[in-house]
Structure 1
């Protein structure tokens, strides 16, 4: 009996830079075991978000710390155990450490795009690079549904004070590397406890404050949906104008209004699910990506 083939998920980055007075360059790595030149990439760790894996693998293979920008196409190809599917994002360097050649990656190089296209081993990665350099400059804005909360029937206090369950607390911790992958530096939330608490682990890790908005609570939004639309438009405009990535945490009944402001059709979101909207400088949504909770 033949063994069942499986799908292996992986993630990588097309890391670009533009040295002063020079053309755009892309980061490539050489893998001695394959004797190939390729984009940095690798398989997911257990319960890891794809976007977080792209950042981690780039760091491990190249010693460059990056932040993700616009998503690119995915590629897939056969491997002995089944199929590997790799998701890629544009990446920007924000830091680095000393690179130490090893058995997995022994060289890294910055090349102009024409030179990289000649050097790269795989045709599908060359197509990715050709597409990536045409993508517009964008800023990510993340919409987060709060983590799993305690059941209403088990909570005797005010609903606005209802707390996260143990599962919700695990979800909030697992959101940290995802928000960090996009360089989130502004945090907004419904003023309700279960929303604010969802962003607290990331806020503590990055020494940020969470701005709570009563307007985004279930109770206020039900009575005044126009206020939600107005606030969202203001936050979207501010994010696009400053270029500072932002995350906004909300409730299931309020999410349709929040997505509407981004021009995104309503769609069910599980607890701790995340929508990433990539905004143009004028605040238009260029593309979106969805991330399911890992717990």
Structure 2
């Protein structure tokens, strides 16, 4: 893991990681994206969380997916990172495209619901417009080359 850089204000950047988790619908075969609901913030976002000290960002992203959604995922391309202020500190979240391969969701204190939605519906359902931009980034990685 890279050492957090001090921001101009002198505050260390909070490092986090997550995934834009996807699957093929077990019913229709269409692409579905997983959103998590966090009751603490009453928002819908991608599964993500702060990295543990010294944790590899991709390993942290997959850990967060497992903890928040109950799913095991196979990672693919790294997607754009998001940067914002959280509680007055700069925060960077690195994201990866990841396919859900197995698992079952169990509600918890941190995430009480998940939704599997088609890309356009997921884009509209996400609370943050910053998160919505990752839908197109994911779709670009899933398109066949040519």
Q: Common fold, TM-score beyond 0.5? A: yes
Higher helix share: 1
Flag as ranges the 4+ runs of structure 1 deviating above 4 A.
none
Q: Distance in 1 between matches of 2:18 and 2:102?
A: 17
CA offset digits 1:127-166 (Å, max 9, x no partner)? 111221121469xxxxxxxxxxxxxxxxxxxxxxxxxxxx
1:71 equivalent among 78, 84, 88? 78
Matches within 5 A, 1:23-172: 23-97=30-104, 99-136=105-142
Q: Distance in 1 between matches of 2:128 and 2:55?
A: 26
TM-score (norm 2): 0.86
Runs of 5+ unmatched residues, structure 1: 139-279, 281-295
Query: Which of these two proteins has the greater Rg computed from alpha carbons?
Result: 1
> How much is the aligned-residue C-alpha RMSD, in angstroms?
1.9
**How far apart are 1:70 and its partner, in Å?**
0.9
Higher strand share: 2
Equivalent residue of 1:11, what SS?
strand
**How far apart are 1:4 and its partner, in Å?**
3.8
CA offset digits 1:163-203 (Å, max 9, x no partner)? xxxxxxxxxxxxxxxxxxxxxxxxxxxxxxxxxxxxxxxxx
Runs of 5+ unmatched residues, structure 2: 1-8
Equivalent residue of 2:141, what SS?
coil
Change in CA separation of 1:136 and 1:116 when aligned onto 2, cut-off 3 Å: closer
Count residues in correspondence: 136
Question: 1:6, 1:81 within 8 Å by CA — same for their partners in 2?
Answer: no
**How far apart are 1:16 and its partner, in Å?**
1.2
**How far apart are 1:33 and its partner, in Å?**
0.7
Question: 1:44, 1:50 within 8 Å by CA — same for their partners in 2?
Answer: yes
